[in-house]
Structures are given as C-alpha cells and as structure tokens.
Amino acid sequence: MGVLSVIAAALAAWLFGAAWYGIMGRRWMGAAGLTEETLDRRNYAAFIGSLFAAVLVAGMMRHVFVTSGVDSPIEGALTGLGLGLFVASPWIATNYLFAQRPASLILIDGLYATGGCTLIGLVLALL
C-alpha cells in the first residue's frame, strides 16, 4: 500500500460520492435546505476540496491499516465500515445536531461517510 493505493482509494470514494449524491440529490438538497436555484453547481472548490479530503482520509486509513496489520479485502472493508460507522458518522451527527440540521441529513451524509470509508478500506487492501 503506497501513494498510488491512497490516490486510487480516494478516487473510488470520491466517485462513490458522485453516484451517492446523484441518487440522493433531491432528498439531500431538501434536507440541506437547498433548491435548484440556490445550489451552485459550479462550486469547484467543493469538488476539489472533497477530493483532497478523501485523500486525507485514505492516507490516514492506510496508516491505520499498516500499523494494525489489516491486509485482506474483507479486513479492509470491515475496518473501513467500522471507521465510517463509529468515527466519521458520529462526528457528522454531532456537528449536525448542534447546527439543528434534520435527521435525514445526518442519515444521508452519515451513510455516505460510511460507504466511502468502506470502499476506501476495500481498495487499500486490494492494492
């Protein structure tokens, strides 16, 4: 697992996000209080920033995998699932609860974080 596996895992999670929010887009916009008129689809900073964030997550997950001996695809996916469910999603929930955001937004974004971490874990272990 090296730099290329981190980049590949980050790209996989980023593309998963494109598919996830493509499917959940209307529900997500409603929960986030956005409309077609208020959503800036040319917000390239969000796309670039989310890819950079995925690289950071994949890089840290790689470190965790190396130090804990995770090396099979099943271990990678399960560890990613655990990190998504029990690290990333609770942080999202905490932020959204204090921001008084709807439970549906917590669920949509928490499931994205969980799926993304699971996918990162799988790709890291495969490469």
Residue 5: per-residue pLDDT: 97
Cα–Cα distance for residue pair 100/77, rounded to 1 Å: 32
Is the predicted pLDDT of residue 17 greater than 70, yes or no? yes
What is the secondary structure of the chain as a DSSP string? --HHHHHHHHHHHHHHHHHHHHHHHHHHHHHHT--TTT--TT-HHHHHHHHHHHHHHHHHHHHHHHHHT--SHHHHHHHHHHHIIIIIHHHHHHHHHHTT--HHHHHHHHHHHHHHHHHHHHHHHH-
pLDDT in tens, 66-123: 999 999 999 999 999 999 999 999 999 999 999 999 999 999 999 999 999 999 999 9
pLDDT-derived band of residue 1, with 50, 70 and 90 as boundaries? low
Domain count, the chain: 1
pTM of this structure: 0.94
What residues make up the domain containing 114?
A: 3-126
pLDDT in tens, 20-58: 999 999 999 999 999 999 998 899 999 999 999 999 999
